Structure 1
């Protein structure tokens, strides 16, 4: 019977504890309801001007635009070679002489025949004036003069073939003959390069070629001359792309004094330049733009809520998409895919992009 008061006391303590616990849970629930529902966590970006210009990067080898493979104009033996590889030669300068002894003998014979034909013509002309020579005899004498002059001119030309001369100011870049060698007509004797017309030829993607045009300035950096960048220009653009690579060949002309500055054929030139310039444009991550039929939209975040905004997009550069109209600098936009979002949805920004 003495144990009952103790049992009653234990029951009273347990009831008090339960009532106290239920009171705390109710207070917590009420506090949570007072704060309201928390928004969906999202990543955002603040709209600021960006540079979305396309950059063209390419490389090519410096080479002479004019390269002449100078050939013999007649068959014969080389008597003398007057230049070495690396020599600068002027237009008309003799590079080699060939043995044309036989041609010279034929030229002397042709000259003698021409002299004889002219004397005969003069005599016939005098006789015609006195009525002794007939018109037919006069015409025949005149024809003989013309034939003789033509024969003389032929052998003068063949003798001149014995002098191999430079067709323009160039540098000898290859020599294929030595004195005493026999060569055939049209056989290559020298290679000449115009050092005042150095170029770089490179292939440009079909996506970039539309932004290039002849005369456009191009910066060129040579690996061999890192401290001396050159200002070149586009000389020519091929009319068609190569079938396999779809690259269009572009010829870039170096300055006329490039060789004087130390540039040599064979140097590697690198080109890096901005094309399709789009500086200070507004852009958003391409993934942040949604599609609604033929419309494009983003969600602007204001007061922790999403607001549907139709935009006009422009070009895409990597992960960025230009916004032509619909947004203003300083606005905050949802930076992720908007497909599961709704206009007016509560959000909270937990990360920033850009």
Structure 2
């Protein structure tokens, strides 16, 4: 029965086909007139997958990361000196321009200061005059000493004359007592003794006077020598002042600025040049009081410098401020880097003060990590793609390397898994994705497209 009825139903159905199509069109029109809306997208249908570009995903890598405190800032020359005028005057010459290398002690400029130079010449003449005075005083000493010698000889002659007169007077006394000498001759002998005594006294007075003259002459020598010392001091001071008219570089390096022109009038203390030494560069930064406890002078530092991708420069912590900033509670730390490569100052750099090295760490791009604050602190997660579905995976942060733009993470995630580099509002847990290389049936906006429009 069923076999025989089937063809008849099939024929009847075929015969009613135009009418059925008409009825269907009528119903559709009726529904449109009645204000009924078509079924909403997704009702009874699966949502279209999110199409990802190759730039939207990254593979979890394993590698080494330096654990420590990171400081970012500008590399500046470790030595920087403002070369200033030390005397007032007019610039007589300038010998260096910006960017030129300069050696220590090299003459960079001269200052014309006539008053200073004439004063130096006058003091040098004063030294010569004072020295001539010393010569004159010493000649006086020599003359006085000769007078002392002559007076000493006179004293000795007077003493001999007195001794002879006394012997004659003694003989005269004997003869006079025996009546063999007249009274007149006896008195003459006594008078010769008195005359010899007077002559000795006079010779001794002359000797004392000559000795006093020597003392006075020696005092004149001392005074003259003092005048020489004073004149030499004045000459030295004037010479130093004259030497300051020649401006020299205090260190070897390069001229970073010149602020004076030929013929310009300058005052003492006015900056003429700025000289820097780029043999070593220094990065100054600040760290919190909690982190500074982990840092010691001499700790190794790895630098990564903008404009030198893939290159690592090494240095050390040179000094640490002894006090924290009372407002920010930050402590200044200075990192120094030898510069044999001749890097210029002013480059932006990141210095990592290495406290330990984490090997075989799971590394993801920094932009792939999403953080939020919770009651227990900061919570981090990444969006990982598993079996074509996005899963929000909580992770822990081990270390950040801002210079490389990577973060070491830990948790239920494995190497070679794929994560979304920069999640957007479309990136939600459970969303399906289509990865690069898959055949797309329809045009779908990718996260990269959305970021470009934003």
Report TM bin, short chain: 0.5 to 0.7
Are the structure 2 counterparts of residues 267 and 148 from structure 1 closer, same or farther at C-alpha, using a change threshold of 3 Å? same
Question: Residue 161 of structure 1: CA displacement?
Answer: 0.8
User: Which secondary structure does the structure 1 equivalent of 2:311 belong to?
Assistant: strand
Are the structure 2 counterparts of residues 159 and 84 from structure 1 closer, same or farther at C-alpha, using a change threshold of 3 Å? same
2:141 aligned residue: 128
Q: Which consecutive aligned stretches of 4+ in structure 1 deviate over 4 angstroms post-superposition?
A: 51-55, 276-280, 317-320
Q: In the alignment, which of 62, 66, 70 is matched to residue 57 of structure 1? A: 70
Is 1:149 aligned to 2:229, yes or no? no
Q: In the alignment, which of 338, 341, 345 is matched to residue 265 of structure 1? A: 345
2:306 aligned residue: 223
Question: What TM-score do the two structures reach when normalised by structure 1?
Answer: 0.60
1:172 aligned residue: 255
Q: How does 1:186-201 map to 2 (within 5 A)?
A: 186-201=269-284
Q: How does 1:81-96 map to 2 (within 5 A)?
A: 81-96=94-109
2:185 aligned residue: none
- Equivalent pair of 1:211/1:276 in contact (CA under 8 Å): no
- Equivalent pair of 2:94/2:261 in contact (CA under 8 Å): yes
RMSD of equivalent CA atoms: 2.7
For residues 54 and 227 of structure 1, the distance between their equivalents in structure 2, rounded to whole angstroms, comes to 18
- Equivalent pair of 1:99/1:162 in contact (CA under 8 Å): yes
Q: How does 1:234-313 map to 2 (within 5 A)?
A: 234-257=317-340, 261-272=341-352, 275=355
Say which is worse superposed, 123-132 or 230-239, in terms of deviation: 123-132
Is 1:76 aligned to 2:159, yes or no? no
For residues 131 and 308 of structure 2, the distance between their equivalents in structure 1, rounded to whole angstroms, comes to 67
- Equivalent pair of 1:206/1:247 in contact (CA under 8 Å): yes
Are the structure 2 counterparts of residues 267 and 235 from structure 1 closer, same or farther at C-alpha, using a change threshold of 3 Å? same
Q: In the alignment, which of 271, 286, 295 is matched to residue 212 of structure 1? A: 295
For residues 267 and 115 of structure 1, the distance between their equivalents in structure 2, rounded to whole angstroms, comes to 58
- Equivalent pair of 2:278/2:343 in contact (CA under 8 Å): no
Provide Cα deviations, 1:297-328, integer angstroms capped at 9, x if missing partner. xxxxxxxxxxxxxxxxxxxx9689xxxxxxxx
Question: What TM-score do the two structures reach when normalised by structure 2?
Answer: 0.48
Question: Residue 217 of structure 1: CA displacement?
Answer: 0.9
- Equivalent pair of 1:56/1:273 in contact (CA under 8 Å): yes
- Equivalent pair of 2:87/2:267 in contact (CA under 8 Å): yes
Question: Residue 56 of structure 1: CA displacement?
Answer: 2.8
Question: Residue 93 of structure 1: CA displacement?
Answer: 0.3
Are the structure 2 counterparts of residues 105 and 262 from structure 1 closer, same or farther at C-alpha, using a change threshold of 3 Å? closer
**Larger strand proportion, structure 1 or 2?**
1
- Equivalent pair of 1:201/1:251 in contact (CA under 8 Å): yes
Provide Cα deviations, 1:56-79, integer angstroms capped at 9, x if missing partner. 333110001221111111111111
Stretches of structure 2 lacking an aligned partner (at least 5 in a row)? 1-63, 145-212, 361-373, 377-394, 399-454
- Equivalent pair of 2:299/2:353 in contact (CA under 8 Å): no
Question: Residue 124 of structure 1: CA displacement?
Answer: 0.6
For residues 319 and 265 of structure 1, the distance between their equivalents in structure 2, rounded to whole angstroms, comes to 34
Are the structure 2 counterparts of residues 113 and 57 from structure 1 closer, same or farther at C-alpha, using a change threshold of 3 Å? closer
Question: Residue 278 of structure 1: CA displacement?
Answer: 8.3
Question: Residue 152 of structure 1: CA displacement?
Answer: 1.3
For residues 90 and 262 of structure 1, the distance between their equivalents in structure 2, rounded to whole angstroms, comes to 16
- Equivalent pair of 1:114/1:149 in contact (CA under 8 Å): yes
For residues 85 and 137 of structure 2, the distance between their equivalents in structure 1, rounded to whole angstroms, comes to 43
Q: How does 1:95-134 map to 2 (within 5 A)?
A: 95-131=108-144, 132=213, 134=216
- Equivalent pair of 1:69/1:188 in contact (CA under 8 Å): yes
Stretches of structure 1 lacking an aligned partner (at least 5 in a row)? 1-50, 281-286, 290-316, 321-354
User: Which secondary structure does the structure 1 equivalent of 2:338 belong to?
Assistant: coil
Question: Residue 52 of structure 1: CA displacement?
Answer: 12
Are the structure 2 counterparts of residues 237 and 88 from structure 1 closer, same or farther at C-alpha, using a change threshold of 3 Å? same
Provide the aligned length of Structure 1 versus Structure 2: 233
**Larger helix proportion, structure 1 or 2?**
2
1:350 aligned residue: none
For residues 276 and 208 of structure 1, the distance between their equivalents in structure 2, rounded to whole angstroms, comes to 14
